[in-house]
Chains A and B, each alone.
Chain A
Amino acid sequence: DAGITQSPRHKVTETGTPVTLRCHQTENHRYMYWYRQDPGHGLRLIHYSYGVKDTDKGEVSDGYSVSRSKTEDFLLTLESATSSQTSVYFCAISRLGTHNNDGYTFGSGTRLTVV
């Protein structure tokens, strides 16, 4: 989507290896989020950021860490990938947060397969 890109788009990795997914935005939005999408579970929040170096956990944060050293980049790291982390990962950005008249803009997603 315009203004937000995710990389890589697809990745296959082995169990036990570390993996980092990148979300890059050019909108200068304050809020950034990582979700995973799984059949039967919909979209579930992993971690989010409300500013540079300000992050917090979502509902399914175990096994994941994040970093945001500058406004435009939000990195999601799987410290030691497991098969249960095979999923499609979506990054989203928001200018005003969720309480205001400002919806999320989503990235195109990263399909991660852990073998």
Chain B
Amino acid sequence: ILNVEQSPQSLHVQEGDSTNFTCSFPSSNFYALHWYRWETAKSPEALFVMTLNGDEKKKGRISATLNTKEGYSYLYIKGSQPEDSATYLCAFPHGSSNTGKLIFGQGTTLQVKP
């Protein structure tokens, strides 16, 4: 069974701190790697979809890098703010057919204290 692992499971930081977390995925048969942000009582929202080794994507203070050869992606948040508090999910497509089966990691829950 495909395994997508995220670490750490949870993180508590002070406002203004920069932070990062990791998503590990199988390095063989890579197609894409998705990152989502999930705020409490809301639905997950897509942050990035990364498809190329060495890809780096940025959205405001949030950025992500991708290493498909070693099977990991990092998500960075620069100068964390309380509104960044959420669970961050990564997800990996299962199978060669582009039909679905996006397998999600368990997420990293970030709490930013004012």
Hey, what's the 0/1 contact readout for A79-115 against B, CB within 8 Å counting as 1?
0000000000010001011111111111111000000
Q: Could you say which of B36, B46, B100 contacts A31, with CB atoms under 8 Å apart?
A: B100
Q: On chain B, which size bracket covers the interface?
A: 20 to 34
Count residues of A near B (Cβ-Cβ below 8 Å).
31
Residue of A nearest to B102 (CB): A98
The answer to whether A48 and B43 touch across the interface, beta carbons within 8 angstroms, is no
Q: Could you say which of A41, A90, A100 contacts B49, with CB atoms under 8 Å apart?
A: A100
List the A side residues contacting B34 at CB < 8 Å.
98, 103-104
Hey, what's the 0/1 contact readout for B92-113 against A, CB within 8 Å counting as 1?
0100001111111111000000
Hey, what's the 0/1 contact readout for A35-49 against B, CB within 8 Å counting as 1?
100001111110010
List the B side residues contacting A98 at CB < 8 Å.
31-32, 34, 91, 93, 98-102
The smallest beta-carbon distance between B89 and chain A, in angstroms, is 7
The smallest beta-carbon distance between B56 and chain A, in angstroms, is 14
Q: Could you say which of A41, A56, A104 contacts B44, with CB atoms under 8 Å apart?
A: A104
The smallest beta-carbon distance between B8 and chain A, in angstroms, is 15
Residue of A nearest to B96 (CB): A99
List the B side residues contacting A40 at CB < 8 Å.
106
List the B side residues contacting A104 at CB < 8 Å.
34, 36, 44, 46, 102
Q: Which residue numbers of B lie inside 8 Å of A, CB to CB?
A: 1, 31-32, 34, 36, 42-49, 51, 89, 91, 93, 98-107
Q: Which residue numbers of A lie inside 8 Å of B, CB to CB?
A: 1, 31, 33, 35, 40-45, 48, 50, 56, 58-59, 90, 94, 96-109
